[in-house]
Amino acid sequence: MIKEKEKIRKQIINIYKEVTEKDIEEEKIQDGLLEQLHIDSLIALQIIVKMEQDFKIVIEDDDVAIKMLDSIENATDFIMKNSKDIVNNN
């Protein structure tokens, strides 16, 4: 389970790197990513769509999306809980 969580975390970081086109150093990642990476609503939407596609999840609640996008840990936990691939593998 820990390996799976770390794999998801790295995949999320790669999504942020790809969508924001910024080199994000893993050790410097902290909560407050929306402000830290200057993520506007368009970029946020692109990140959400990419996460939904990659992890086969649906993020319907805007409040959940904002909370999730602002923290790699929150995003990882949400995906661990909601991804069909992960749920089916456990």
Residue percentage of the chain with pLDDT more than 90: 60
E-strand ranges in the chain read none
Region 66-70: mean pLDDT is 91
Contact between 38 and 62 (Cβ < 8 Å): no
Q: What is the largest CA-CA distance in the chain?
A: 36
Question: In the predicted model, what is the mean pLDDT of the chain?
Answer: 88
- Predicted model pTM: 0.85
* Buried b or exposed e, range 53-66, using 16+ CB within 10 angstroms: ebbebebeeeeebe
Whether the per-residue pLDDT at 83 is higher than 70: the answer is yes
Query: Residue 59: which domain range?
Result: 2-89
CATH number at residue 61: 1.10.1200.10
The total number of structural domains that make up the chain: 1
Degrees (nearest 5) of the Cα angle 58, 63, 65?
Answer: 40
pLDDT bucket at 86, cuts 50 / 70 / 90: low
Whether the per-residue pLDDT at 66 is higher than 50: the answer is yes
